[in-house]
Structure 1
Amino acid sequence: MLATGYQGNEWISDVRGYSIRAGYQWLKGSHPPVPWYKDVWDSWTIPKHSVIGWLINRQALNTRDKLFHLGISGSNSCVMCDIEPETLAHLFPDCAYSKLVIKFLEHWLQMRLQTPPGHCPIVRRKVCRVVRLSCWYVLWMERNTCRVEMKIRRPELLASEIQKMAQLRIQQKFSSLVQQSGVNWVTSLGINV
Protein backbone atom coordinates (compact mmCIF):
# COMPACT_ATOMS: atom_id res chain seq x y z
CA MET A 1 0.00 0.00 0.00
CA LEU A 2 1.51 3.32 -1.11
CA ALA A 3 -0.58 5.74 0.92
CA THR A 4 -3.67 5.95 3.05
CA GLY A 5 -5.50 8.68 1.10
CA TYR A 6 -6.81 12.18 1.55
CA GLN A 7 -7.61 13.72 4.89
CA GLY A 8 -9.33 17.03 4.39
CA ASN A 9 -7.51 18.69 1.49
CA GLU A 10 -4.17 17.04 2.20
CA TRP A 11 -2.73 13.75 0.98
CA ILE A 12 -1.55 11.63 3.87
CA SER A 13 1.19 9.12 3.19
CA ASP A 14 1.74 5.99 5.23
CA VAL A 15 4.55 5.55 7.75
CA ARG A 16 7.04 4.43 5.11
CA GLY A 17 7.01 7.94 3.61
CA TYR A 18 5.44 7.24 0.22
CA SER A 19 3.65 10.08 -1.53
CA ILE A 20 2.14 10.91 -4.90
CA ARG A 21 5.28 12.86 -5.78
CA ALA A 22 7.55 9.91 -4.91
CA GLY A 23 5.33 7.54 -6.88
CA TYR A 24 5.35 9.85 -9.88
CA GLN A 25 9.14 10.23 -9.72
CA TRP A 26 9.50 6.45 -9.53
CA LEU A 27 7.23 5.95 -12.56
CA LYS A 28 8.93 8.70 -14.53
CA GLY A 29 12.41 7.40 -13.81
CA SER A 30 15.52 9.51 -13.84
CA HIS A 31 16.72 11.00 -17.09
CA PRO A 32 19.64 13.40 -17.41
CA PRO A 33 18.54 16.85 -18.59
CA VAL A 34 19.18 17.61 -22.25
CA PRO A 35 21.57 20.49 -22.96
CA TRP A 36 18.93 22.59 -24.73
CA TYR A 37 16.30 22.33 -21.97
CA LYS A 38 16.79 25.83 -20.52
CA ASP A 39 16.89 27.42 -23.97
CA VAL A 40 13.46 26.00 -24.82
CA TRP A 41 11.60 25.86 -21.50
CA ASP A 42 12.59 29.25 -20.07
CA SER A 43 9.94 31.05 -18.00
CA TRP A 44 10.14 34.04 -20.38
CA THR A 45 9.44 32.11 -23.59
CA ILE A 46 5.94 31.88 -25.03
CA PRO A 47 4.66 28.33 -24.33
CA LYS A 48 3.47 27.55 -27.88
CA HIS A 49 6.85 28.76 -29.15
CA SER A 50 8.57 26.47 -26.66
CA VAL A 51 6.62 23.51 -28.04
CA ILE A 52 7.95 24.22 -31.56
CA GLY A 53 11.47 24.62 -30.10
CA TRP A 54 11.08 21.29 -28.31
CA LEU A 55 9.92 19.58 -31.52
CA ILE A 56 12.85 21.08 -33.44
CA ASN A 57 15.36 19.89 -30.86
CA ARG A 58 13.77 16.43 -30.88
CA GLN A 59 13.87 16.36 -34.71
CA ALA A 60 10.11 15.77 -34.63
CA LEU A 61 8.70 18.30 -37.12
CA ASN A 62 7.52 16.82 -40.40
CA THR A 63 9.68 18.61 -42.96
CA ARG A 64 9.28 17.97 -46.68
CA ASP A 65 12.52 15.99 -46.68
CA LYS A 66 11.19 13.68 -43.96
CA LEU A 67 7.84 13.30 -45.73
CA PHE A 68 9.59 12.71 -49.07
CA HIS A 69 11.63 9.86 -47.60
CA LEU A 70 8.42 8.36 -46.17
CA GLY A 71 6.82 8.52 -49.62
CA ILE A 72 4.22 11.09 -48.52
CA SER A 73 5.55 14.14 -50.40
CA GLY A 74 6.49 14.27 -54.07
CA SER A 75 9.32 16.74 -53.43
CA ASN A 76 11.80 17.42 -50.68
CA SER A 77 12.72 20.98 -51.70
CA CYS A 78 12.25 23.82 -49.24
CA VAL A 79 8.95 25.62 -49.80
CA MET A 80 10.49 28.95 -48.79
CA CYS A 81 13.61 29.04 -50.99
CA ASP A 82 13.04 26.08 -53.37
CA ILE A 83 16.82 25.51 -53.46
CA GLU A 84 17.82 22.96 -50.83
CA PRO A 85 16.10 19.92 -49.30
CA GLU A 86 13.78 21.05 -46.51
CA THR A 87 15.37 19.63 -43.36
CA LEU A 88 15.25 21.14 -39.89
CA ALA A 89 18.90 22.16 -40.18
CA HIS A 90 18.07 23.90 -43.45
CA LEU A 91 15.00 25.74 -42.13
CA PHE A 92 16.60 26.72 -38.82
CA PRO A 93 18.80 28.66 -39.85
CA ASP A 94 20.45 27.73 -43.18
CA CYS A 95 17.60 28.63 -45.57
CA ALA A 96 18.30 31.86 -47.49
CA TYR A 97 14.87 33.15 -46.43
CA SER A 98 15.46 32.29 -42.75
CA LYS A 99 18.87 33.97 -42.89
CA LEU A 100 17.28 37.23 -44.03
CA VAL A 101 14.72 37.13 -41.20
CA ILE A 102 17.48 36.39 -38.67
CA LYS A 103 19.65 39.19 -40.08
CA PHE A 104 16.87 41.74 -39.41
CA LEU A 105 16.41 40.40 -35.88
CA GLU A 106 20.13 40.40 -35.08
CA HIS A 107 20.38 44.00 -36.29
CA TRP A 108 17.54 44.92 -33.94
CA LEU A 109 19.06 42.96 -31.02
CA GLN A 110 22.56 44.32 -31.68
CA MET A 111 23.86 40.78 -31.14
CA ARG A 112 23.78 37.28 -32.59
CA LEU A 113 20.59 35.27 -32.15
CA GLN A 114 22.47 32.12 -31.11
CA THR A 115 22.59 31.22 -27.45
CA PRO A 116 24.70 33.87 -25.68
CA PRO A 117 27.58 32.59 -23.54
CA GLY A 118 27.03 31.97 -19.83
CA HIS A 119 28.92 35.12 -18.87
CA CYS A 120 26.46 37.24 -20.86
CA PRO A 121 23.96 39.13 -18.62
CA ILE A 122 20.89 37.02 -17.86
CA VAL A 123 18.54 39.60 -19.41
CA ARG A 124 20.29 39.26 -22.77
CA ARG A 125 20.14 35.46 -22.57
CA LYS A 126 16.42 35.52 -21.77
CA VAL A 127 15.63 38.07 -24.50
CA CYS A 128 17.60 36.00 -27.04
CA ARG A 129 15.63 32.91 -26.04
CA VAL A 130 12.33 34.73 -26.49
CA VAL A 131 13.36 36.13 -29.87
CA ARG A 132 14.94 32.88 -31.14
CA LEU A 133 11.91 30.74 -30.23
CA SER A 134 9.52 33.36 -31.61
CA CYS A 135 11.58 33.32 -34.80
CA TRP A 136 11.42 29.51 -35.08
CA TYR A 137 7.69 29.53 -34.40
CA VAL A 138 6.88 32.25 -36.95
CA LEU A 139 9.19 30.70 -39.58
CA TRP A 140 7.46 27.33 -39.13
CA MET A 141 4.00 28.91 -39.39
CA GLU A 142 5.08 30.88 -42.47
CA ARG A 143 6.45 27.69 -44.00
CA ASN A 144 3.11 25.97 -43.43
CA THR A 145 1.16 28.90 -44.91
CA CYS A 146 3.51 29.00 -47.89
CA ARG A 147 3.03 25.28 -48.45
CA VAL A 148 -0.76 25.70 -48.67
CA GLU A 149 -1.13 29.15 -50.28
CA MET A 150 2.02 29.04 -52.45
CA LYS A 151 3.03 32.58 -51.46
CA ILE A 152 5.42 33.97 -48.88
CA ARG A 153 5.70 37.30 -47.13
CA ARG A 154 8.79 39.49 -47.36
CA PRO A 155 11.39 38.58 -44.70
CA GLU A 156 11.28 42.04 -43.11
CA LEU A 157 7.53 41.62 -42.47
CA LEU A 158 8.18 38.36 -40.64
CA ALA A 159 11.00 39.96 -38.65
CA SER A 160 8.70 42.83 -37.69
CA GLU A 161 6.02 40.37 -36.53
CA ILE A 162 8.59 38.46 -34.46
CA GLN A 163 9.94 41.68 -32.99
CA LYS A 164 6.46 42.79 -31.89
CA MET A 165 5.73 39.37 -30.32
CA ALA A 166 9.02 39.42 -28.47
CA GLN A 167 8.59 43.00 -27.29
CA LEU A 168 5.17 42.21 -25.84
CA ARG A 169 6.46 39.08 -24.07
CA ILE A 170 9.50 40.88 -22.67
CA GLN A 171 7.30 43.68 -21.34
CA GLN A 172 5.12 41.05 -19.63
CA LYS A 173 8.08 39.28 -18.03
CA PHE A 174 10.42 42.14 -17.24
CA SER A 175 11.13 42.57 -13.55
CA SER A 176 12.36 45.48 -11.45
CA LEU A 177 15.08 43.12 -10.19
CA VAL A 178 16.98 43.52 -13.46
CA GLN A 179 20.19 45.49 -13.20
CA GLN A 180 20.30 48.98 -14.74
CA SER A 181 22.53 47.79 -17.60
CA GLY A 182 19.80 45.33 -18.55
CA VAL A 183 17.18 48.08 -18.38
CA ASN A 184 19.27 50.30 -20.66
CA TRP A 185 19.75 47.55 -23.24
CA VAL A 186 16.09 46.50 -23.26
CA THR A 187 15.05 50.17 -23.58
CA SER A 188 17.42 50.51 -26.57
CA LEU A 189 15.36 47.78 -28.28
CA GLY A 190 12.31 50.05 -28.16
CA ILE A 191 10.68 48.23 -25.25
CA ASN A 192 9.21 50.40 -22.51
CA VAL A 193 9.89 48.87 -19.10
Structure 2
Amino acid sequence: MGFGDLKKKDGLSALNAYLVDKSYIEGYQPSQADAVVFDALIGPPPADLENALRWYNHIKSYGAGRSSFPGQKKDVSSYGSAGKAAPAAGGDDDDDDDIDLFGSDDEDAKAEREKRLAEYAAKKAKKPAVIAKSSLLIDVKPWDDETDMKALEEAVRSIQADGLLWGASKLVPVGYGIKKLQINAVIEDDKISTDFLEEEITGFEDFVQSMDIAAFNKI
Protein backbone atom coordinates (compact mmCIF):
# COMPACT_ATOMS: atom_id res chain seq x y z
CA MET A 1 0.00 0.00 0.00
CA GLY A 2 1.00 3.65 -0.19
CA PHE A 3 2.20 5.83 -3.03
CA GLY A 4 5.85 4.98 -2.55
CA ASP A 5 8.45 7.71 -2.17
CA LEU A 6 6.55 10.99 -2.73
CA LYS A 7 9.85 12.84 -3.04
CA LYS A 8 10.51 10.99 -6.31
CA LYS A 9 8.78 11.01 -9.69
CA ASP A 10 7.48 7.44 -9.34
CA GLY A 11 5.70 8.29 -6.10
CA LEU A 12 4.25 11.49 -7.55
CA SER A 13 3.09 9.57 -10.64
CA ALA A 14 1.30 7.07 -8.40
CA LEU A 15 -0.38 9.96 -6.55
CA ASN A 16 -1.37 11.54 -9.89
CA ALA A 17 -2.94 8.28 -11.10
CA TYR A 18 -4.78 7.84 -7.79
CA LEU A 19 -6.31 11.34 -8.04
CA VAL A 20 -7.50 11.02 -11.64
CA ASP A 21 -11.08 10.52 -10.40
CA LYS A 22 -10.79 11.84 -6.85
CA SER A 23 -10.73 15.29 -5.25
CA TYR A 24 -9.30 14.13 -1.94
CA ILE A 25 -7.18 11.26 -0.60
CA GLU A 26 -10.14 9.93 1.38
CA GLY A 27 -13.83 10.78 1.17
CA TYR A 28 -15.41 13.91 -0.25
CA GLN A 29 -13.88 16.65 1.90
CA PRO A 30 -10.40 17.58 3.13
CA SER A 31 -9.18 15.36 5.95
CA GLN A 32 -6.03 14.48 7.85
CA ALA A 33 -5.27 12.05 5.02
CA ASP A 34 -4.76 15.06 2.72
CA ALA A 35 -2.67 16.86 5.35
CA VAL A 36 -0.37 13.85 5.88
CA VAL A 37 0.20 13.25 2.16
CA PHE A 38 0.66 16.99 1.52
CA ASP A 39 3.32 17.20 4.25
CA ALA A 40 5.14 14.25 2.70
CA LEU A 41 5.76 16.26 -0.49
CA ILE A 42 8.76 18.55 -0.80
CA GLY A 43 6.94 20.94 -3.12
CA PRO A 44 4.34 21.13 -5.90
CA PRO A 45 4.20 18.23 -8.38
CA PRO A 46 5.38 19.01 -11.93
CA ALA A 47 2.87 20.47 -14.39
CA ASP A 48 2.58 17.24 -16.38
CA LEU A 49 1.09 15.53 -13.30
CA GLU A 50 -2.02 17.69 -13.51
CA ASN A 51 -4.21 15.71 -11.09
CA ALA A 52 -1.61 15.78 -8.32
CA LEU A 53 -0.86 19.46 -8.98
CA ARG A 54 -4.56 20.40 -8.83
CA TRP A 55 -4.95 18.57 -5.53
CA TYR A 56 -1.73 20.10 -4.14
CA ASN A 57 -2.80 23.68 -4.95
CA HIS A 58 -6.23 23.08 -3.42
CA ILE A 59 -4.85 21.68 -0.14
CA LYS A 60 -2.15 24.38 -0.04
CA SER A 61 -4.85 27.07 -0.17
CA TYR A 62 -6.00 26.07 3.35
CA GLY A 63 -2.64 27.14 4.83
CA ALA A 64 -2.41 26.55 8.56
CA GLY A 65 -6.04 25.38 8.50
CA ARG A 66 -4.80 21.96 7.38
CA SER A 67 -4.08 21.14 11.01
CA SER A 68 -7.80 21.34 11.80
CA PHE A 69 -8.91 18.95 9.04
CA PRO A 70 -11.17 16.18 10.40
CA GLY A 71 -10.01 12.62 10.79
CA GLN A 72 -7.11 10.83 12.43
CA LYS A 73 -3.53 11.02 11.23
CA LYS A 74 -1.97 7.79 9.98
CA ASP A 75 1.39 6.94 8.49
CA VAL A 76 1.60 8.20 4.91
CA SER A 77 2.04 4.60 3.70
CA SER A 78 -1.53 3.87 4.86
CA TYR A 79 -3.04 6.05 2.14
CA GLY A 80 -3.60 5.41 -1.55
CA SER A 81 -1.95 2.61 -3.45
CA ALA A 82 1.33 2.00 -5.18
CA GLY A 83 -0.39 2.26 -8.55
CA LYS A 84 -3.71 1.84 -10.30
CA ALA A 85 -4.45 -1.53 -11.81
CA ALA A 86 -6.21 -1.91 -15.12
CA PRO A 87 -10.00 -2.20 -14.62
CA ALA A 88 -11.36 -5.68 -13.95
CA ALA A 89 -13.91 -7.27 -16.25
CA GLY A 90 -17.35 -5.79 -15.73
CA GLY A 91 -15.92 -3.15 -13.36
CA ASP A 92 -16.79 -0.21 -15.62
CA ASP A 93 -18.00 0.66 -19.06
CA ASP A 94 -14.74 -0.32 -20.78
CA ASP A 95 -15.99 -3.91 -21.29
CA ASP A 96 -12.54 -5.50 -20.76
CA ASP A 97 -12.71 -9.30 -21.04
CA ASP A 98 -11.59 -11.52 -18.18
CA ILE A 99 -8.28 -12.60 -19.67
CA ASP A 100 -4.88 -13.17 -18.11
CA LEU A 101 -2.66 -10.96 -20.22
CA PHE A 102 0.26 -10.91 -17.81
CA GLY A 103 0.61 -14.48 -16.66
CA SER A 104 2.25 -16.10 -19.68
CA ASP A 105 5.40 -15.75 -21.74
CA ASP A 106 3.69 -17.22 -24.76
CA GLU A 107 4.19 -15.07 -27.88
CA ASP A 108 0.45 -15.08 -28.64
CA ALA A 109 -0.31 -13.89 -25.13
CA LYS A 110 2.27 -11.12 -25.45
CA ALA A 111 0.80 -9.99 -28.76
CA GLU A 112 -2.72 -10.06 -27.32
CA ARG A 113 -1.55 -8.11 -24.28
CA GLU A 114 0.04 -5.39 -26.40
CA LYS A 115 -3.06 -5.18 -28.59
CA ARG A 116 -5.41 -4.86 -25.63
CA LEU A 117 -3.23 -2.25 -23.92
CA ALA A 118 -3.14 -0.20 -27.12
CA GLU A 119 -6.93 -0.44 -27.47
CA TYR A 120 -7.40 0.55 -23.84
CA ALA A 121 -5.09 3.56 -24.20
CA ALA A 122 -6.86 4.67 -27.38
CA LYS A 123 -10.26 4.35 -25.71
CA LYS A 124 -9.13 6.42 -22.74
CA ALA A 125 -7.64 9.08 -25.01
CA LYS A 126 -10.98 9.58 -26.74
CA LYS A 127 -12.80 10.37 -23.53
CA PRO A 128 -13.29 14.14 -23.05
CA ALA A 129 -11.29 15.71 -20.27
CA VAL A 130 -13.29 16.52 -17.14
CA ILE A 131 -12.99 20.16 -16.11
CA ALA A 132 -12.66 20.29 -12.32
CA LYS A 133 -14.67 23.14 -10.82
CA SER A 134 -15.32 24.42 -7.31
CA SER A 135 -18.01 26.60 -5.76
CA LEU A 136 -16.78 29.20 -3.28
CA LEU A 137 -18.59 31.33 -0.72
CA ILE A 138 -16.37 34.33 -0.03
CA ASP A 139 -16.60 36.77 2.89
CA VAL A 140 -15.18 40.25 2.19
CA LYS A 141 -14.89 42.51 5.22
CA PRO A 142 -14.72 46.33 4.95
CA TRP A 143 -12.72 48.64 7.19
CA ASP A 144 -15.68 50.18 8.98
CA ASP A 145 -19.35 51.12 8.75
CA GLU A 146 -18.53 54.08 6.50
CA THR A 147 -17.15 51.91 3.69
CA ASP A 148 -19.20 52.18 0.49
CA MET A 149 -20.34 48.55 0.19
CA LYS A 150 -21.78 49.08 -3.29
CA ALA A 151 -18.41 50.31 -4.51
CA LEU A 152 -16.72 47.42 -2.69
CA GLU A 153 -18.89 44.85 -4.48
CA GLU A 154 -18.34 46.56 -7.84
CA ALA A 155 -14.60 46.38 -7.22
CA VAL A 156 -14.78 42.67 -6.41
CA ARG A 157 -16.89 41.89 -9.48
CA SER A 158 -14.46 43.86 -11.64
CA ILE A 159 -11.99 40.99 -11.18
CA GLN A 160 -12.34 39.06 -14.42
CA ALA A 161 -10.32 36.01 -15.46
CA ASP A 162 -10.70 32.89 -17.56
CA GLY A 163 -12.20 30.21 -15.32
CA LEU A 164 -13.87 32.64 -12.88
CA LEU A 165 -17.62 33.31 -12.67
CA TRP A 166 -19.22 35.53 -10.01
CA GLY A 167 -22.62 34.61 -8.61
CA ALA A 168 -25.17 35.94 -6.13
CA SER A 169 -24.19 38.16 -3.22
CA LYS A 170 -25.63 39.71 -0.07
CA LEU A 171 -24.60 41.93 2.83
CA VAL A 172 -24.35 40.22 6.22
CA PRO A 173 -24.24 42.20 9.52
CA VAL A 174 -21.13 41.55 11.63
CA GLY A 175 -21.75 44.06 14.44
CA TYR A 176 -21.38 47.75 15.30
CA GLY A 177 -23.24 48.72 12.14
CA ILE A 178 -20.64 46.99 9.94
CA LYS A 179 -21.72 44.62 7.18
CA LYS A 180 -19.56 42.22 5.19
CA LEU A 181 -20.06 41.24 1.56
CA GLN A 182 -20.81 37.55 1.05
CA ILE A 183 -20.48 36.54 -2.59
CA ASN A 184 -20.53 33.27 -4.52
CA ALA A 185 -18.00 32.35 -7.18
CA VAL A 186 -17.43 29.31 -9.40
CA ILE A 187 -13.83 28.62 -10.43
CA GLU A 188 -12.04 26.16 -12.69
CA ASP A 189 -9.47 24.60 -10.38
CA ASP A 190 -6.69 24.43 -12.97
CA LYS A 191 -7.03 28.11 -13.85
CA ILE A 192 -8.01 29.97 -10.67
CA SER A 193 -6.63 29.52 -7.14
CA THR A 194 -7.88 30.91 -3.85
CA ASP A 195 -4.50 32.63 -3.46
CA PHE A 196 -5.19 34.53 -6.69
CA LEU A 197 -8.62 35.63 -5.48
CA GLU A 198 -7.30 36.75 -2.10
CA GLU A 199 -4.50 38.76 -3.69
CA GLU A 200 -6.86 40.45 -6.16
CA ILE A 201 -9.63 41.22 -3.64
CA THR A 202 -7.39 42.49 -0.84
CA GLY A 203 -5.67 44.64 -3.46
CA PHE A 204 -8.63 47.04 -3.17
CA GLU A 205 -7.10 48.53 -0.02
CA ASP A 206 -9.46 51.50 0.17
CA PHE A 207 -12.43 49.17 0.70
CA VAL A 208 -11.24 45.75 1.86
CA GLN A 209 -9.84 44.89 5.27
CA SER A 210 -9.73 41.10 4.76
CA MET A 211 -11.10 38.18 2.77
CA ASP A 212 -12.03 34.65 3.91
CA ILE A 213 -13.27 31.50 2.18
CA ALA A 214 -16.45 30.68 4.12
CA ALA A 215 -17.21 27.52 2.10
CA PHE A 216 -15.38 25.50 -0.56
CA ASN A 217 -17.20 22.71 -2.44
CA LYS A 218 -16.23 20.64 -5.46
CA ILE A 219 -18.74 20.63 -8.29
Shared fold per TM-score greater than 0.5: no
Query: For the superposition of Structure 1 and Structure 2, which TM-score range results when normalised by the shorter chain?
Result: under 0.3
Normalized per residue, the structure richer in strand is: 2
With normalisation by structure 1, the TM-score equals 0.22
Normalized per residue, the structure richer in helix is: 1
With normalisation by structure 2, the TM-score equals 0.20
